[in-house]
């Protein structure tokens, strides 16, 4: 299995920086939140044709699962489970296991809470997506991107 993936991994390392088959966006343009309050942030992954983005569920022996987190050391935290559009479930010959993945577009709902006793005022919510993508011939190495959303924390 590892020998079979070596050419894919090598190609991904060589070309991974130039290939970016997904574009992440946050639906909200700004957020107003009260200290201790929870709101849902809507995130979309636009996936290029012939590529797939792996799902949220970690599968033993499978690819890197997609994760959405809030960057540490800010006035916000994840406040529950992440919702998503339904993924496709199928056997993946690259990993030899049944996996979950998204095609075309994936929608995510990330519950975020302003930490109790957060300092009122302007802030930036930083959301971190870590993910892996493959097509029929190539798997890219896991990638991390940070998205930012202007936020106002009220009393």
78-133: per-residue pLDDT in tens?
A: 999 999 999 999 998 888 899 999 999 999 999 999 998 888 999 999 999 999 99
DSSP category for residue 2: H
Which residues neighbour 73 within 8 Å (Cβ) at sequence distance 6 or greater?
none
Percentage above 70 pLDDT, the chain: 88
Predicted local confidence at residue 12, as pLDDT: 46
Predicted local confidence at residue 87, as pLDDT: 97
Which residues neighbour 14 within 8 Å (Cβ) at sequence distance 6 or greater?
none
Mean pLDDT over 9-35 rounds to: 78
Q: What domains are defined for the chain? A: 2-154 (2.60.40.1250)
Please report which helix (H) or strand (E) contains residue 43, including its range: strand 38-47
pTM of the model as a whole: 0.86
Predicted local confidence at residue 17, as pLDDT: 52
């Amino acid at each position: 299995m590892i020998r079979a993936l070596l050419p894919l991994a090598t190609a991904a390392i060589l070309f991974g920086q130039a290939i970016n088959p997904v574009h992440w966006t946050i639906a909200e343009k700004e957020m107003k939140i009260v200290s201790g309050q929870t709101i849902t942030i809507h995130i979309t992954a636009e996936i290029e044709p012939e590529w797939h983005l792996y799902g949220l569920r970690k599968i033993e022996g499978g690819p890197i699962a997609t994760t959405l987190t809030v960057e540490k050391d800010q006035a916000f935290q994840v406040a529950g489970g992440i919702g998503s559009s339904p993924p496709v479930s199928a056997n993946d010959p690259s990993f030899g296991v049944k996996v979950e993945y998204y095609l075309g577009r994936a929608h995510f709902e990330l519950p975020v809470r302003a930490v109790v006793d957060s300092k009122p005022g302007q802030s930036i919510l930083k959301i971190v997506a870590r993910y892996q993508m493959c097509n029929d011939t190539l798997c890219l190495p896991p990638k991390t991107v940070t998205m930012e959303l202007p936020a106002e924390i009220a009393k």
